[in-house]
Amino acid sequence: MAVTDAEINTAVAVTGRFENAGDPWRGVTGDFDGMGISCGVLQWNIGSASLQPLVLAVGKPVVLREAPTIGAQLWQACNSGVAQGLATVRQWQTGAQLKAVPKKELAALMGSPEMKAQQFSRIKVVAAKADALATAWALAAGRPARSLQELIWFFDLVTQNGSLKGLDHDDVTQFIKTSTPGKADDVVCDWLLAAPAAWWGRVDCIKNAGLWRDKVAAADLELFVLSYLRASLSSAKARGVVMNRKGALAFRKGWINGQLFDFSGQF
């Protein structure tokens, strides 16, 4: 089944909340990761040159309309090299925190109809990749079509992690088979409970271990185990936060970035 606009909007509404409180289309953060500024649903940024094409596509009049104070500087930053662009946007910040006016104007620009259209056109490409992965996963599991839950899980994978890094359905079934009968979820929860102090999201890991233990529905177990296997292949510090995100989508509830999310009524 082809991914629909309604499904894309649901995926954006669900996964966008992990990074941005409120409207994910208008989400804006400062230089917490060395990328200068990160904006919008997929946190397009100056450092990777992913924000510049969106700004140029909407045009200078829209930029100046929505960002009357910093718009001219933003336009110049997006027409310069990455180094100059980073230097420009870092002037709008104290440490890694955007000052009030730049934050307000960037949010207004990202939430404008013109910029939302640009964001959506790029999100559709990501969603198509997620749809293909989710469909392949469902077929490997013996089902004719993927679910909305699987689409959202793979949408988060593509946007945050890129790929499965070679994992497939057989890896999941083998893990479940070789775990003590009925204990695959306990293996995962034990792993979370032992999260090292250096892991991002460690406190959430411990909370999720208690939340998920012995409560994973049989229909969700394979996606839950896939979450664990993919998290295990992430960089050491990121393993916990990857599992928190993916596990919450597989379980439909979980702690992410210090907040409890419940998706049981959405997919």
37: helix, coil or strand? coil
| pLDDT digit string, tens, across residues 57-111 | 999 999 999 999 999 999 999 999 999 999 999 999 998 899 999 999 999 999 9
> pLDDT averaged over the chain?
95
**pLDDT at residue 22, rounded to an integer:** 76
| pLDDT digit string, tens, across residues 195-204 | 999 999 999 9
Pair type for strands 44-45 and 38-39: antiparallel
- The pTM of this model reads 0.88
Pair type for strands 44-45 and 93-94: unpaired
Whether residue 183 is predicted with pLDDT greater than 90 in this model: the reply is yes
Angle between helices 239-251 and 221-232 (to 10 degrees): 170
**pLDDT at residue 180, rounded to an integer:** 86
Whether residue 1 is predicted with pLDDT greater than 70 in this model: the reply is no
Domain ranges, ordered by start, for the chain: 5-118, 161-262
- Within 10 angstroms of residue 14's Cβ, the number of other Cβ atoms is 22
What mean pLDDT is predicted for residues 206-221?
Answer: 97
Distance, in Å, from the CA atom of 115 to the CA atom of 77, rounded to the nearest integer, reads: 17
93 strand-pairing partners:
98
Residues above pLDDT 90, as percent of the chain: 90
- Within 10 angstroms of residue 162's Cβ, the number of other Cβ atoms is 9
